[in-house]
Structure 1
Amino acid sequence: MGARHDQTTPSLSGGFIADAFARAIAAAMDHAGATSPNPPVGCAILDADGNILAVEAHRKAGDLHAEARAIATCRAAGTIDRIHTVVVTLEPCNHHGRTPPCSEAILSTPAREVWIAEADPNPRVEGGGAHRLAAANLSVRFLSELDHPDAARLSAEAERLIAPFATWVTTGRSFVTIKQALDETGSMIPPPGHRTFTSEASLTLAHRMRRRADAILTGSGTILADRPEFTVRHLPDHPDKSRILAILDRSGQVPADYLAEAIRRGLRPMLFNDIGDALTRLGNEGVHEVLVEAGPALTGAILAAGLWDEHVVIQRTRSDLPDQITVSRNRTKKG
């Protein structure tokens, strides 16, 4: 029997909603890079007093979506009758794919209100979940409407969360993130005998960025100089994740034994002569996010050509101070 939906219960205050969005975004971030071809999504469910009943995320393609998983958590805990507000980082789906529509899952509960951070950017999905929920007399609101000091920051985090998926699903190309580590002088070259000069916290950040990427783009010079592993080591990787290792190697210098070792590490090496060809092929392969981990020449070429979406600079200042992190977005790049 379907749940009765009305508007007799007042909305929760902005503080409760902001906290729920923060938790949902954090849950989704933990699984960014594991959900392709789907986007990472997080969901928090609250009761009428603002208590969190469940926080869940979509974990991998074919698995339960975030809303369905959070509702299942409430059902298992015996709290499904207390559901009042559903907070989700992406508009609930309203179509049958590998799993049933999340809009219908929400409508099977006593939920009165749904807060959404980002509208579904997929142009091939007809009939939005927000419209379906509103048509069933639920109050449907977007994060952009939230009156809270953290609203702008949360909106930016939610937008970045789905930016790789949104880029790929609307343009067919991959979202390109450049990671660049610099020492105090602005050099990318570590001192002799060292492979890095950044702090432990920055290394964890770098490996978190690597974990969420579907492909790593580098040059033959980086491989010949350092033979990097390109694995996730400073935090647990996603189980069974297989990344493409795209290598710019115009003169065929990358050794065969390095490629064989990369395969044994779970990477899928691909060799290219041209940056544009590499990015086109990666988009065709369904890669949502490419992480550029390369030397100064290739990094500079991609920056100069404007073939990037996000540029993360990690700069060492002094050994007794935290590294300086700067994140820039290329707002002029066209699809």
Structure 2
Amino acid sequence: MGASKHPVTSLPAGIIADAFGRAVAAATDYAGATAPNPPVGCVLLDAAGEVLAVEAHRKAGDLHAEARAIAACRAAGSALRIHTIVVTLEPCNHHGRTPPCTDAILSTPARHVWIAGRDPNPRVAGGGAARLAAAGLSVGWLAGLDHADAPRLAAEAERLIAPFVKWSTTGRPFVTVKQALDETGSMIPPPGHKTFTSETSLTLAHRLRRRADAILTGAGTILADDPEFTVRRVPDHPDKRRLLAILDRRGRVPADYLTAAAQRGLRPLVFAELDEALARLGTEGVHEVLVEAGPTLTAAVLAAGLWDEHVVIAKGDPDRITILRNHDRKG
């Protein structure tokens, strides 16, 4: 579709900000299910700012968020009302397993597109925003939205695709370290217990596990706790099979544990060195690896600067959650 012959009034910043919030939330629901693609959310609005569709990319090979939202509008008979498209990532402009999202957008009467972040993937041509603008659509970026919530929404959208950015630009997974500490700063649970954190913190831990493509642990943790490493406190992604990377230099993990892990839907891999494990996970297409390990391995990952995000759960009433990002780490 070409450029509109008449100017079309853009929607207020508050409506756009609300739509970005909905799009981020929709994409977050599928974080961990979309590799090798990033999680993306999309919201379609009519000229009055009414939400016509909220959709997300759900898995590789499935419709992208924009195409899914447009298809939902067509099914509901509201496609001719599409006025503004709000999406968390620049629409693709290349043919992959699905057609370009720019084609889908240009097949609608939409005249405005708001985008949270540019596509960072060096393997594709990119240029989605440029193509839409060349076709006469107004293209806006979340960073330029004049609204108090814009910085927070931009940070949330950036974190959403951070694992994809890391993997697509370096070939390495995004490393999240989860660390639970008691009142004394110790990671060791009391005798007879596997944890000491609250129910809320345990649910958070399972959410972190749900969005990860792999778990990284050490032989000591397995021998001490016999952990399942499954997602139980929140619904898991259907058919998701995570890698379980085990650092076991001395071959202490028994074969029956590896067999049981495979029966639980995990794919166990044993490594002697941390860097070897991370390199292999990258070649396996892992976007995000969650480190769930004891004090020694956790400290080693942090000290080596191999982490991207550090989630600290400090026991208290209530537990205190701190999330740190290692923005200064290079590659």
Please, what TM-score do these two structures have when normalized by structure 1? 0.97
Q: Aligned partners of 1:11, 1:184: CA distance in 2, in Å? A: 52
Q: Aligned partners of 1:98, 1:331: CA distance in 2, in Å? A: 33
Aligned residues: 331
Q: What residue number does 1:150 align with?
A: 149
Q: What residue number does 1:111 align with?
A: 110
Instruction: Give 1:71 deviation, angstroms.
Output: 0.4
- Give the SS at the match of 2:88: strand
Identity percentage over the alignment?
75
Alignment of 1:1-335 (within 5 A): 2=1, 5-6=4-5, 8-317=7-316, 321-335=317-331
Instruction: Give 1:4 deviation, angstroms.
Output: 6.3
Asked whether the equivalents of residues 5 and 110 of structure 1 are also in contact (C-alpha less than 8 Å), the reply is: no
Unaligned stretches of 5+ residues in structure 1? none
Instruction: Give 1:327 deviation, angstroms.
Output: 0.6
Instruction: Give 1:271 deviation, angstroms.
Output: 0.4
- Give the SS at the match of 2:47: coil
Asked whether the equivalents of residues 244 and 267 of structure 1 are also in contact (C-alpha less than 8 Å), the reply is: yes
Amino acid at match of 2:166: T
Q: Aligned partners of 1:113, 1:12: CA distance in 2, in Å? A: 9
Asked whether the equivalents of residues 246 and 272 of structure 1 are also in contact (C-alpha less than 8 Å), the reply is: yes
Residue by residue over 1:251-285, the C-alpha shift from the partner in whole angstroms, topping out at 9 and shown as x without a partner, is 00001110000000010000001001111111111
Q: Judging changes above 3 Å, is the alpha-carbon distance between structure 1 residues 7 and 31 closer, same or farther for their aligned structure 2 residues?
A: farther
- Give the SS at the match of 2:116: strand
Amino acid at match of 1:145: G
Residue by residue over 1:180-224, the C-alpha shift from the partner in whole angstroms, topping out at 9 and shown as x without a partner, is 011121111111221111111111111111011111000000000
Asked whether the equivalents of residues 4 and 110 of structure 1 are also in contact (C-alpha less than 8 Å), the reply is: no
Q: Aligned partners of 2:167, 2:230: CA distance in 1, in Å? A: 24
Asked whether the equivalents of residues 7 and 112 of structure 1 are also in contact (C-alpha less than 8 Å), the reply is: no
Instruction: Give 1:7 deviation, angstroms.
Output: 5.4
Amino acid at match of 2:243: I
Instruction: Give 1:127 deviation, angstroms.
Output: 3.9
Quick check: 27-36 or 325-334, which moved more?
325-334
Quick check: 107-116 or 181-190, which moved more?
181-190
Asked whether the equivalents of residues 5 and 136 of structure 1 are also in contact (C-alpha less than 8 Å), the reply is: no
Amino acid at match of 1:282: L
Asked whether the equivalents of residues 6 and 112 of structure 1 are also in contact (C-alpha less than 8 Å), the reply is: no
Asked whether the equivalents of residues 247 and 270 of structure 1 are also in contact (C-alpha less than 8 Å), the reply is: yes
- Give the SS at the match of 1:140: strand
Q: Aligned partners of 1:96, 1:254: CA distance in 2, in Å? A: 45
Residue by residue over 1:68-98, the C-alpha shift from the partner in whole angstroms, topping out at 9 and shown as x without a partner, is 0000111111111110000000000000001
Q: Judging changes above 3 Å, is the alpha-carbon distance between structure 1 residues 9 and 181 closer, same or farther for their aligned structure 2 residues?
A: same
Instruction: Give 1:122 deviation, angstroms.
Output: 0.6
Amino acid at match of 1:294: A
Q: Aligned partners of 2:15, 2:195: CA distance in 1, in Å? A: 42
Residue by residue over 1:80-135, the C-alpha shift from the partner in whole angstroms, topping out at 9 and shown as x without a partner, is 11100000000000000010000010000000100000100011211411001000
Asked whether the equivalents of residues 58 and 64 of structure 1 are also in contact (C-alpha less than 8 Å), the reply is: yes
Unaligned stretches of 5+ residues in structure 2? none
Q: Aligned partners of 1:254, 1:119: CA distance in 2, in Å? A: 44
Q: Judging changes above 3 Å, is the alpha-carbon distance between structure 1 residues 7 and 196 closer, same or farther for their aligned structure 2 residues?
A: farther
Asked whether the equivalents of residues 7 and 139 of structure 1 are also in contact (C-alpha less than 8 Å), the reply is: no
Q: Aligned partners of 1:90, 1:126: CA distance in 2, in Å? A: 15
Residue by residue over 1:30-52, the C-alpha shift from the partner in whole angstroms, topping out at 9 and shown as x without a partner, is 00000000000000010111111
Instruction: Give 1:333 deviation, angstroms.
Output: 1.3
- Give the SS at the match of 1:157: helix
- The RMSD of aligned alpha carbons is 1.0
Residue by residue over 1:134-188, the C-alpha shift from the partner in whole angstroms, topping out at 9 and shown as x without a partner, is 0000000100001111111000000000000000101111100000011121111
Q: Judging changes above 3 Å, is the alpha-carbon distance between structure 1 residues 333 and 7 closer, same or farther for their aligned structure 2 residues?
A: farther
Quick check: 125-134 or 302-311, which moved more?
125-134
Instruction: Give 1:3 deviation, angstroms.
Output: 7.2
Instruction: Give 1:322 deviation, angstroms.
Output: 2.1
Please, what TM-score do these two structures have when normalized by structure 2? 0.98
Asked whether the equivalents of residues 2 and 135 of structure 2 are also in contact (C-alpha less than 8 Å), the reply is: no
Asked whether the equivalents of residues 222 and 295 of structure 1 are also in contact (C-alpha less than 8 Å), the reply is: yes
Instruction: Spell out structure 1 runs of 4+ moving beyond 4 A.
Output: none
Q: Aligned partners of 1:53, 1:229: CA distance in 2, in Å? A: 42
